[in-house]
Amino acid sequence: MESKLIYQESSYRIIGKCMEVHNELGHGFLEIVYKDALELVFRQDGIFYEREKPYEVWFRGVLLPHMFYADFVIEDKIILEVKCVASITEEHIAQTINYLKVSGNKLGLLVNFGRGKLEYKRLVF
C-alpha cells in the first residue's frame, strides 16, 4: 500500500527553493544569511510565508513568559526550521517537533545549510 506524503507538493517546492539558495550561496555563511536569502526567494516566487512567527506556550493552564519563534511558517501549514551546523542533531529534531506541537501544524521541514550538500528532514507530528 502506498501512502501519500503530507503536503507533498508544497514540501518539494520548499526544499527545491532551499536547494536553489544552497546552490547559489554554498555553505559556510551564518544562518541569518540563508534565512534572508530564503525570504527573498519566497517573496520573488510568490510563496506565502511568515518569518520568525511567535507561538505561545501554555503549561497547566498558564501562559508561560517565553515563546517559540518558528524560522518560517509556509502557507500557514508547514514549519521550516533553518540550521547551519555540522549535522542535524536530536536536539534540532526535538526543537522542530516542539514547534509543531505548539503551532498545531502537522509538517516540519528541518533544513541544514552547513554542509557541502543540503541536508533536510521531514518531521510529521
What was the pLDDT predicted at 5?
82
Rounded CA separation 21/5 (Å) = 24
pTM above 0.95, yes or no: no
What was the pLDDT predicted at 4?
66
Rounded CA separation 72/42 (Å) = 10
Domain spans in the chain, listed from the N-terminal domain onward: 8-124
> Residue 20, exposed/middle/buried by CB under 10 A (0-12, 13-18, 19+)?
middle
Architecture of domain 8-124 in this structure: 3-Layer(aba) Sandwich (3.40)
Asked whether 46 and 17 are in contact (CB, 8 A), the reply is: no
- The stretches in the chain having pLDDT less than 70 are 1-4
What was the pLDDT predicted at 1?
42
